Structure 1
């Protein structure tokens, strides 16, 4: 049976680097949305809690309920329900309309559009939003934004940071006038955290770096992170292939010599994206994936009972012309997880 192995030592290594950059473990909010970037929501939540992380970020109310007992604060980014929430939950608010729909006493983090133009209220709506939060008897616990170019060598990052700094000052002034507590401020994702030399916000939302990757331009002094996940396949059968025979759909692999080939129980149905044959893929042990990847299996020039398909997805990301995020989050959430 196919499986994902999670390396506790590598995860803790990454969290050490992240905590140091953030100036304290209490300033780290681990992003667990989308099944912890394919690594397993509960598995990573337990390990993060074991390490000492107190804050988490998820996508939905359903995800938050599953990890509620592991963290003191859970930020829900894309919730559409209007039910009563746990006292640990904080709801991301992206519009003035959303404020009117939330139950009394809900803790909210107001998202401000500082220049990405995707989600969040605009600066002109800021005062109205804060007053609306007070009138609805909600608890204003956070204000945040998201950067559009934190991973690129661009002035956009500093322009947005400047915008957010101005917005924070306005929020502080408004809260003082309304005699309400100042919320927690956060803007940094993984790339932004490691772009700044002197991190000074209340916490950072760290996703991809937790799992061992960073999509920031190589010109930056990136930390030496370690991938947490490795993906393994189990042998189904073995056969002898003669020179000149072809393997798989379309017969796309042509055997140049007699060889031994085994079929393994991983395919694009498991989220291992279908290779297009224009690029060759070699496993960490040096085996080749032969021909087209099928829905439920693939062929490899190996007789091993188990084969590590990958322990670092950067090569696959290049082959598929995408980012590491897409490779790992595409994996089927039902794949068995093991922690070593």
Structure 2
């Protein structure tokens, strides 16, 4: 891997962020959400680094089975439940828990001949309007689940918050009240809080919390308030592979998208959209060279980017360049590129070498 493009994954930082989630949970159990390959950090290694998690949340059977194969014994919840009836046998064999969010999934369980095979979570739509049964039907669904031979125990009750990242918004209180009304008279344990709900809305903590993005060191908030004490887990870095002395008026890269305003040094870094770096990152997107801030210049290429070396007179070929992570929050880079940190993490390709360390 001579290009030097790598993602450094700090498992100690992951555990620090999980401990922060645990502290805010105030006695609630903590389900670590590790879907999409641990938000791009590595599914198996992320789970193995969190032995104190009370459960793990993944999207589908395809994400759950490798965890069981790796010896992960904690409860694993399929956050979107089954996608076909045929998945029930494998889900039962591997002791997976199921979200039930619609009539057809409940009917599949009622047809199932397996006995007491599944712990189930009933998902209620409280205003996200994506997945979940209507609140006025929650009691009917719960009764049917309790009567279903394939279901064991009392179904847990959950919802998903659509705008908890805005700590001053009115939408989250409305969802909390909608969920409360939907659950009146129901006895199952409750779960509402994602990362933003956990850190920003104490009333959302309930019996279970489901942190995701905060585990990876990214603030879940968009309101510009105080940043939580989160540590970046992924540091994406590469290296300087060329230094060009350019003249005022020289145009840089494809379509000459950047014009040098003066005589200046321009560096070339071995990373591009072929590695998952966002193609639409524009001039001014921050990077770190030798720990000092500079900026992207011009268009992102498949294999390379150009950076500004003004004020970096000591720069040399092979010097390290950090694209996000330690010293440069991923959410800041994402904002400059018109996206979110979740997408930065999840879009890294197999050209990037992952290296895991413990602090």
Common fold: TM-score over 0.5: yes
CA distance in 1: counterparts of 2:149 and 2:252, whole angstroms: 64
Which of residues 303, 306, 311 in structure 2 aligns to 1:299? Answer: 306
Aligned to 2:312: none
Q: C-alpha offsets along residues 62-101 of structure 1, whole Å, 9 cap, x if unaligned?
A: 1111222324111111241432214541111110111122
Question: What is the 5 A alignment of 1:87-236?
Answer: 87-102=94-109, 103=112, 104=114, 105-133=117-145, 134-135=147-148, 137-139=150-152, 140-152=154-166, 153-172=168-187, 183-197=188-202, 201-218=206-223, 223-235=228-240
CA separation of 1:14 and 1:281: change in aligned 2, threshold 3 A: same
Shift of residue 188, structure 1, vs aligned partner: 0.7
CA separation of 1:232 and 1:276: change in aligned 2, threshold 3 A: closer
Shift of residue 330, structure 1, vs aligned partner: 2.7
CA distance in 2: counterparts of 1:250 and 1:22, whole angstroms: 51
CA distance in 1: counterparts of 2:204 and 2:100, whole angstroms: 25
CA contact (8 A) 1:55 1:71 kept: no
Which of residues 260, 266, 280 in structure 1 aligns to 2:284? Answer: 280
CA separation of 1:101 and 1:313: change in aligned 2, threshold 3 A: same
Aligned to 2:297: 290
Which of residues 22, 34, 37 in structure 1 aligns to 2:25? Answer: 22
Structure 1 spans left out of the alignment, 5+ residues:
173-182
Aligned to 2:333: 316
Q: C-alpha offsets along residues 203-245 of structure 1, whole Å, 9 cap, x if unaligned?
A: 100011111122325476653212211101245x425334143
Question: What is the 5 A alignment of 1:32-47?
Answer: 32-47=34-49
CA contact (8 A) 2:246 2:266 kept: no
Alignment length, in residue pairs? Answer: 325
The structure 1 segments of at least 4 consecutive aligned residues displaced by more than 4 Å after TM superposition are 217-222, 256-262
CA distance in 2: counterparts of 1:45 and 1:112, whole angstroms: 27
RMSD in angstroms over aligned alpha carbons? 2.5
CA separation of 1:219 and 1:286: change in aligned 2, threshold 3 A: closer
CA contact (8 A) 1:17 1:223 kept: no
CA contact (8 A) 2:217 2:232 kept: yes
Structure 2 spans left out of the alignment, 5+ residues:
310-314
CA contact (8 A) 2:286 2:333 kept: no
CA contact (8 A) 2:98 2:119 kept: yes
CA contact (8 A) 1:90 1:141 kept: no
CA distance in 1: counterparts of 2:256 and 2:215, whole angstroms: 40
